[in-house]
């Protein structure tokens, strides 16, 4: 009479460690959030030759697919600082994200991970993901966010709204720059996973450049970008950014928080 519940209990106790070992990575991600890392947590995965291939996963809602000029520029900018023997490719998927209303960073993380085609690192393949939801961010002046080591969101409606007077800059120009800017955060810029020997971080906007000729300038991801920058928008890293990346790559700059 009494032995059966005891056996059941013992079985549960004995099986528990085994079961937890069977959980999929997806489930473990919820239990171990640090596995997602912080923006810059996969910087060295890109800068060193530890991966042979980078796949840029682009998940977009209908009508929000980024311009070819944006994805081409992004691949070019990454290839100028990271080398992959099998190259950098893009993978486009039209996606229906959950209707979350206005998006928070947690929504970006959750919707991003729910829709990732694979983990950020599988074998010799590194995957970075850019999602393009139809809605806007909770702070609607924000054009893009990098929320962890592999996940970015770009808000197309807000990007369109950020086009300048007489279309200078155009929405396409803004999108070009914002995408490189957010990937710059995945590359650890500015001072996200290291401390630059040169003082070029904005004092008011941590994690950003104080140089309005750098794509990492803080205003690039802001709706008001057209009013802060006259003339052409920067869509490249400046020399200080490039020196930081080179220093991390060759080990002269110490890098922290890598996954």
Question: Can you give the binding site for Zn ion, defined by CB under 5 A?
Answer: 221
Instruction: List Cα–Cα distances, 69 to 61, 127, 180, 214, 231, in angstroms.
Output: 18, 20, 12, 19, 19
Report in angstroms how near the CB of residue 208 gets to Zn ion at its nearest. Answer: 5
Instruction: List Cα–Cα distances, 196 to 53, 79, 191, 211, 216, in angstroms.
Output: 28, 22, 6, 14, 14
Radius of gyration of the chain (CA): 21
Two tokens, residue 249: 């790559």
Q: Which is nearer to Zn ion, 221 or 240 (CB)?
A: 221
Rounded distance, CA 112 to CA 105, Å?
10
Rounded distance, CA 170 to CA 148, Å?
28
Cis peptide before 165 (omega within 30 of 0): no
Give the residue closest to Zn ion by C-beta.
221
Rounded distance, CA 73 to CA 242, Å?
16
Two tokens, residue 82: 């990271």
Helix 171-186 vs helix 68-79: crossing angle, to nearest 10:
30
Report in angstroms how near the CB of residue 183 gets to Zn ion at its nearest. Answer: 10
DSSP category for residue 65: P
Q: Which is nearer to Zn ion, 84 or 150 (CB)?
A: 150
Report in angstroms how near the CB of residue 82 gets to Zn ion at its nearest. Answer: 19
Report in angstroms how near the CB of residue 205 gets to Zn ion at its nearest. Answer: 8
Q: Which is nearer to Zn ion, 57 or 221 (CB)?
A: 221
Report in angstroms how near the CB of residue 203 gets to Zn ion at its nearest. Answer: 15
Q: Which is nearer to Zn ion, 110 or 201 (CB)?
A: 201
Report in angstroms how near the CB of residue 214 gets to Zn ion at its nearest. Answer: 11
Q: Are 237 and 178 in contact (CB under 8 A)?
A: no
Q: Which is nearer to Zn ion, 110 or 221 (CB)?
A: 221
Q: Which is nearer to Zn ion, 40 or 133 (CB)?
A: 40
């Amino acid at each position: 009479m009494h032995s059966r519940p005891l056996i059941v209990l013992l079985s549960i106790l004995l099986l528990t460690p085994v079961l937890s070992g069977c959980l999929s990575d997806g489930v473990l991600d919820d239990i171990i959030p640090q596995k997602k890392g912080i923006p810059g947590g996969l910087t060295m995965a890109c800068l060193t030759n530890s991966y042979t291939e980078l796949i840029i996963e682009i998940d977009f809602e209908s009508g929000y697919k980024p311009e070819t000029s944006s994805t081409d520029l992004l691949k070019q900018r990454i290839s100028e600082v990271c080398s992959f023997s099998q190259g950098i490719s893009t993978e486009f998927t039209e996606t229906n994200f959950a209707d979350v209303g206005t998006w928070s960073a947690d929504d970006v993380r959750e919707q991003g991970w729910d829709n990732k085609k694979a983990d950020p690192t599988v074998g010799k393949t590194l995957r970075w993901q850019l999602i393009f939801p139809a809605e806007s961010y909770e702070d609607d002046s924000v054009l893009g966010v990098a929320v962890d080591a592999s996940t970015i969101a770009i808000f197309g409606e807000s990007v369109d709204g950020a086009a300048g007077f007489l279309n200078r800059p155009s929405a396409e120009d803004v999108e070009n720059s914002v995408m490189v800017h957010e990937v710059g955060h995945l590359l650890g810029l500015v001072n996200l996973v290291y401390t630059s020997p040169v003082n070029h971080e904005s004092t008011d906007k941590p994690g950003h450049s104080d140089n309005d000729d750098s794509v990492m300038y803080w205003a690039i991801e802001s709706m008001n970008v057209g009013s802060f920058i006259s003339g052409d928008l920067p869509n490249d890293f400046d020399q200080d950014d490039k020196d930081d990346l080179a220093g991390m790559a060759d080990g002269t700059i110490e890098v922290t928080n890598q996954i």
